[in-house]
Amino acid sequence: MPKETTGTAQSPTPTLQPTAPAPTAQEPTPSTFEDAQAVVPLVVLPLEQRPFAVETGEDWPSGYNVHLKFRETRGAGLLEFAALVDAPVTRADTPFGAHLDAITRVRGIEVRASALVSPREADRLLGPPTPAPAPTGQAADQTAAQPVPLSTAAELPGIVSVLPPTGPPPPPGAEDEGRCVRCGCTENAACEGGCYWVPNRQLVDLCSACATLDELALVTYSLVETPAGEQAPAAADTPDPAPMPRLASPLMHRIAVTPAVPAEDGQA
């Protein structure tokens, strides 16, 4: 009898099969000169008013493009081109005129039409430009010019602000006399505590009780004759409250001057 043998069947060794690379997105190839030239008849021949120049240039790396140039008298041809390729027309006002542009792509080629026309011709072709909307609400309040406050003039040195007098009006038929432009005091009705006229650049009646420090700083004093024929020394440029200087002023008699009393021995 034949001898039986036992064993396991051996499987064949698998072999590696080469795999194809995954497809990658290919970059668009740049347009060639021949591609651009083939587009020119498509955008020029249908026009009634054709451009005076057609330029084919290279815009690296995208390729070639076409530029149609229209004369000022044939700006309507640009509108024909825009309607043919369904492209919007833009307007840019420059010191040399209105620049009209329309840009689109035909068969992957960039095609541009342009014309430099006068503003009046641009208004005729496209209509007048739309004015900017006027600001409303809070924006109008922010853009409104702020008025200059009237009180600013009184803060400047040498400028006297004239205010309505607060004193009683003069009786009818009374003699015209000097009246302070701020408080209304006069030669015969001085302010409480006394006052004097303050010279100013506007040559208006202004008393010392109403004058500001800047206005008092502009006062200059001069030598005046005393009733006894003696001369009083000139005071400083700024008023000194004690003792009161002798001023050449018609209101001199309205100033209450209190002489300084020397202290007695032993008293401070």
> What's the pLDDT tens digit per position in 143-181?
555 555 544 444 444 455 555 555 566 566 556 677 888
Mean residue pLDDT of the chain comes to: 71
State how far the Cα of 49 lies from the Cα of 44, in Å rounded to an integer.
9
Residue 225 — very low, low, confident or very high, per pLDDT cuts 50/70/90?
Answer: low
Q: Which domains does the chain have, with CATH numbers?
A: 33-126 (3.30.460), 153-167+177-258 (no CATH)
Spatial CA neighbour of 65 closest among 48, 45, 43, 49: 43
At residue 21, does pLDDT exceed 50?
Answer: yes
At residue 3, does pLDDT exceed 70?
Answer: no
Highest mean pLDDT among 47-56, 128-137, 163-172: 47-56
Mean predicted confidence (pLDDT) in 24-53: 85
More confident residue, 79 or 156: 79
Q: In this predicted structure, what is the pLDDT of residue 2?
A: 55
At residue 67, does pLDDT exceed 90?
Answer: yes
Residue 199 — very low, low, confident or very high, per pLDDT cuts 50/70/90?
Answer: confident
Buried b (16+ CB within 10 A) or exposed e, 240-258: eeeebbbbebebeebbeee
pTM recorded for the entire structure = 0.41
Share of the chain above pLDDT 70, in %: 54
Least confident of 11-15, 108-112, 157-161, 203-207: 157-161
Highest mean pLDDT among 1-5, 49-53, 194-198, 237-241: 49-53
> What's the pLDDT tens digit per position in 94-122?
888 899 999 999 998 999 999 999 989 88
Mean predicted confidence (pLDDT) in 221-237: 52
At residue 260, does pLDDT exceed 70?
Answer: no
List CB contacts of 77: < 8 A, sequence separation 6 or more: 47, 48, 49, 50, 51, 70, 113, 115
At residue 256, does pLDDT exceed 50?
Answer: no
More confident residue, 212 or 51: 51
Q: In this predicted structure, what is the pLDDT of residue 20?
A: 55
State how far the Cα of 206 lies from the Cα of 198, in Å rounded to an integer.
6
**Residue whose tokens read 């018609």:** 250
